[in-house]
């Protein structure tokens, strides 16, 4: 209807804008509003970049959450939804990981399943100790990259999903009506 372009920087609060401008004295207010999405994103990354592995771990830990309905258990009959929740969680984890790690390799924690490692952080947020059980099946503590870990994890989740589908199909074969006996 209307072809109005709104600068992406205008979506940033005045307080955040002022902090970014004051910390980067080469940017004026008018230049700030002229930043495209990519330049603004990079400026925010630079501002929020963790300065050590512990800060990285804590920032990642604070900003990701596994979303699953409280009081709902995971089972073969609802594993499809649980798998979808794992996929959304993985996507959120990767987005935040990429944001924090951009030009910041020296402050990325180890990709391992020990205290302070990114694998441990990822699996501990998944309910029912499912992540921990998957890691026992994978039987590997350290990975060369976050992608290697996430691919191995997804492969096992997909295998479990295939088993859950077979279980549901099998269970459906034995759905019978109850016979009521009146004495």
Residues 42 and 53 in one domain: no
Count: domains in the chain: 2
Residue 178 in domain? no
Query: How far is residue 118's CA from residue 121's CA, in Å, rounded to a whole number?
Result: 5
Residue 25 in domain? yes
Cβ-count burial of 122 within 10 angstroms (0-12 exposed, 13-18 middle, 19+ buried)?
A: buried
Can you give the pLDDT at residue 70?
87
Residues 135 and 89 in one domain: yes
CA 100-58-107 angle, to 5 degrees, is 45
Residue 93 in domain? yes
Can you give the pLDDT at residue 6?
81
Residues 67 and 139 in one domain: yes
Mark the ranges of the chain whose per-residue pLDDT is less than 50: none
Can you give the pLDDT at residue 64?
96
Residues 63 and 126 in one domain: yes
Can you give the pLDDT at residue 130?
95
Residues 38 and 83 in one domain: no
Can you give the pLDDT at residue 112?
97
Query: How far is residue 60's CA from residue 122's CA, in Å, rounded to a whole number?
Result: 10
Residues 62 and 142 in one domain: yes
Residues 66 and 127 in one domain: yes
Residues 35 and 117 in one domain: no
Residues 134 and 158 in one domain: yes
Residues 37 and 54 in one domain: no
Can you give the pLDDT at residue 46?
87
| Residue 74 structural domain | 49-172
List, for residues 52-81, the tens digit of each pLDDT value. 999 999 999 999 999 999 888 888 888 999
Residues 128 and 158 in one domain: yes
Can you give the pLDDT at residue 176?
60
Can you give the pLDDT at residue 177?
56
Total-model pTM:
0.80
Residues 21 and 67 in one domain: no
Query: How far is residue 109's CA from residue 24's CA, in Å, rounded to a whole number?
Result: 27
Residue 183 in domain? no
Residue 150 in domain? yes
């Amino acid at each position: 209807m209307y072809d109005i372009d709104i600068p992406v920087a205008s979506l940033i609060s005045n307080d955040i804008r002022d902090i970014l401008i004051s910390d980067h004295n080469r940017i004026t207010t008018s230049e700030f509003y002229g930043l495209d999405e990519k330049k603004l994103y990079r400026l925010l990354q630079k501002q929020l970049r963790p300065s050590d592995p512990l800060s990285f771990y804590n920032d990642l830990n604070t900003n990701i959450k596994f979303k699953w309905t409280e009081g709902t258990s995971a089972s073969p009959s609802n594993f499809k939804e649980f798998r979808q929740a794992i996929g959304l969680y993985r996507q959120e984890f990767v987005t935040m990981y990429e944001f924090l790690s951009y030009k910041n390799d020296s402050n990325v924690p180890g990709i391992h399943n020990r205290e302070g490692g990114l694998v441990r952080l990822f699996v501990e947020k998944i309910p029912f100790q499912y992540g921990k059980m998957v890691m026992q099946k994978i039987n590997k503590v350290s990975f060369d990259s976050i992608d290697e870990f996430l691919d191995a994890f997804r492969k096992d989740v997909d295998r479990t999903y295939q088993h859950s589908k077979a279980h549901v199909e099998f269970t459906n074969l034995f759905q019978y009506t109850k016979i009521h006996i009146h004495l």
